[in-house]
Amino acid sequence: MKKTAVTIQFDETKLNSIKYYLEKKEVDVQDELSKALDSLYTKVVPAQVREFIAMQNGESLPNQPKAKNRKPAKNKTEVKENNNEGS
């Protein structure tokens, strides 16, 4: 996937504070910003569009819910017939 740079205007004092406290936790500012943008992408972009983009990029979707194996429901007429057998 091709990466692009994002430039924003942000209060310098606030940014320095963020950097300071993230460094104390040994966390990279760019990693945290990337996570925040990924979260925004997931929140804003419809699932079908994310799926299409992932398919174009040859990626799998990690947050895609997997299909559950469900037991087939009993046929209502089957249940009714079984209940009437003893009558």
The CA R_g of the chain, rounded to the nearest whole Å, is 25
Most confident range (mean pLDDT) of 1-10, 22-31, 65-74 is 22-31
What is the sign of the dihedral through the CA atoms of 8, 13, 16 and 22? negative
Q: Evaluate if pTM is beyond 0.85.
A: no
Task: Give the number of domains in the chain.
Answer: 1
**pLDDT for res 1:** 78
Domain membership of residue 4 (yes or no) is no
Domain membership of residue 87 (yes or no) is no
Domain membership of residue 25 (yes or no) is yes
**pLDDT for res 60:** 73
Q: Does residue 23 surpass a pLDDT of 70? A: yes
* DSSP assigned state of 87: -
Domain membership of residue 77 (yes or no) is no
Confidence of residue 16 (pLDDT cuts 50, 70, 90): very high
Domain membership of residue 22 (yes or no) is yes
Interior/surface letters 28-41, b for 16+ CB within 10 angstroms, e for the rest: eeeeeeeeeeeeee
Per-residue pLDDT of 35-78, as tens digits, reads 999 999 999 999 999 999 999 988 876 555 554 555 555 555 55
- Integer Cα distance of 7 and 84 in angstroms: 73
